[in-house]
Structure 1
Amino acid sequence: MTDYFYLLLGVVSLFQVLLAQTQIDVPRNTVYAAEGGNVTLSVRNLTAMYMMSWTSPKSEQIITFIDGKVLTKPQTNYSGRITLIPDNGSLIITSVLKSDGGNYTISMEPVTPGGPINQMIIRLIVFELNVTVIPAKIVEGNTANISCIVRENTALEKIWKKDGIILASNSHIRIIEASVIITSASRDDMGNYSCTVQNQDGQGISQAAVNVYYGPDSPVILKSQTKDCVSGDVLSSTAVYMSCTSASNPPSSIYWLLNQKYFTSNHSISISSASSNNTGTYTCVANNSVTNQNSTTAANLNVVDYCLSGGAVAGIVIGCVAFLLLLILLITLLVKWRRRRKQGSSSKSALSQYPRATLQEPRSNSREQPSVSPNSATVPWYTTSSGGGRTLTIPETPETATDEWNQSLYKAFTDKDGKFSTAV
């Protein structure tokens, strides 16, 4: 009977100890973390703790929570990288190292004085995470393959980013599982590509810089001290500077040709005092040693002793055209004047075959009548005066000039206003 009593007493005591012991709940006994990433060793506990502490795989106590205070052991590999959450006792490790892998022990003591301490072990597995780029030298227009390599067989979500912006598949970029495939890579595809792997315990990030080699593009030639001259662009004895640039990765090498002959290998040409010997065609040649491509641009340099600008030439042309128009006008007026003069001479020569006569205006009281019939078409009208002289009678109006002869007489002896002229 006594033995049964002591046995029962021991069972009751053990039950009391178990009730007093802190219950530690660990979601996962094995946790995966990427090297260089962050990880949380999660613990769930609903009992108020007086003391909590974590021990590393090397059996050193690295961090402790006691009586409301967190104490971190100094001068360890975890300095500045670990954080203990007082609410539940979870441990956060940042910038995980390969050497951080192993078994971590969490110890908890309840607030009840003299209560038992409970412990739990969590295993941390650290895996390598690398981003590789193939080929190592990507030439513009070729295909590139960027891969996220995980050195551990574990279920992880992978997220790709370029310069911090999440990537998505499109006609130019395809994301297939752990790879990014860039078709016909361009210079715009250069940047930092990162692969983020994550699970419920943490995440890891690895990145690689992608460099795309391109060019050289068509060189650009810049000339200084040039003039707006029609016959040339540089005045004699002036300084001339020419430079050549070309977009290229890596930067292209530059050399110059003058009239298709090697001139210099500098990026620029400086002429202190230009002369006619410097006139010619300057060709800039850009070469990319990685793409093995060349590109050229040519520029003419014409050194002249004087400069006629486009405005001056335009003024000369306008002046010449105005002079030509004036000359044509003068010639036209001269021709018209000569024609009128010639017509006047013809009329006077027609009258010169008849005897000259004196022109007398008819008097109103004269009783003398013309002795020539007005119907005559070949003889002018004459009248005989009392003194025996002959007088030529001119028709007074065009209407009275009834034949061709009288019309000619009228035109010859009248001015433009129809008045008689005394000139015979």
Structure 2
Amino acid sequence: MHDLVVVGAGPYGLSIAAHAAAAGLDVRVLGRPMASWRDHMPDGMYLKSEPWASDLSSPGAGVTLGAWAAANGLPAEHGTPLPIGAFTRYGLWFAERLPVPVEERTVTAVVPDGRGFTVETADGEAVRTRNVALAIGVMPFVHLPGALRELPVGLASHSSDHRDLARFRDRDVVVLGAGQAALETAALLAEGGARPVVLARAGEVRWNTVPVPLGRGALAKLRAPHSGLGIGWSSWAWSNMPGAVRLLPAGARARIAETALGPAGAWWLRERVEGVVPVRLGLRVVRAVGSDAGVRLDLAAATGPGVRESVEADHVIAATGFDPDLRRLRVLDAGLREELRTVRGTWAPELDAGFESSRPGLFFAGLLTAPVFGPSMRFVHGAAYTASRLVAGVRRRMDAGTGARPARVPRPAVARTREAGGVRSAAARGEGAGTGA
């Protein structure tokens, strides 16, 4: 029986594996490395987070994004957007350097088994383990507006469904949403010869400001400190104090996870959208039906009753983020899902300081943990905090069963306090590139 099986091999899963191996655990990692980034983001997208705030985490030295970029002759500089493809290659390089192999296998079920678990794979193996860390990324939690769910296949999709947008050339496409995913998808569509229109409930499009320099005076830093999630005291708190967020009342945590660091477009994207892509605001879709032209959307004012107008298009892409809903996690045994305690007012699992759920030995990472630890868990930046504390939680769980004193868990070799610019990672509902677990 293994000490730990990590399900998922995105930034969170790989970081957990690195810390677990360094702590001497018998660990296996199951999943396709960087799957969300490799398979669900179109060519031409850029990382919205600052490169220095997008490191995967390891107790070892020399595995930062900056180190990888320097070794490969690529710029990874503050205020310079990095292509998603480069970040993906960095993640794959990180995976190759792990002291344990990443097994590209599909997990079909996680089932309680005595005092541990059995992890079943699509190729028929049943892996027994004392502990499981579910770092399954965002794809199980895709949010598609209700009005689109009854449309015939081929007329509507989610922004994460598209690795290649070339098939929409010369077609009319409605993009729903006002965050980075919607705006960048619309820009790429226009640049690829499609005719996109952005529709959003929001009354305005928010744009991040150009990042301020890393080197600032002491007073400027005091007024608006930098952090891995952006500039300002609230961003600093979400970035540096996830453990303190966990101590807040459940309702406050849920509101913070839902609303903090809301939808906004990157500063470098603005000129590719404004004056290029029509953006219509203050509208919601009340009905969507197939038509001779493709799909017809009946629209109403975001806050008012009744259909105001209709638009037609060949296709609708919903860039509407992801919902951290435990009920959608079908890989987890149904009975186990139902027994887990959840954060009041949400369908996210309640967790202790070591990311352990109410079921001993079952740990969570990534988007599902945002209603407990705050918005940093929606972004790659949260992987370092998660990995070290989750592995410490696994060790405590194992030591509790033996009566041994808790072992010291290695921490990252360099504890860096770095400064970021005003560019934030993806926004509400776990939207965008920062969510890979």
Place the TM-score, normalised by the shorter chain, in its bin: under 0.3
Q: TM-score, normalised by structure 2?
A: 0.20
Greater helix share, structure number: 2
Q: TM-score, normalised by structure 1?
A: 0.20
The structure, 1 or 2, with the larger RCO (C-alpha pairs under 8 Å, 6+ apart) is 2
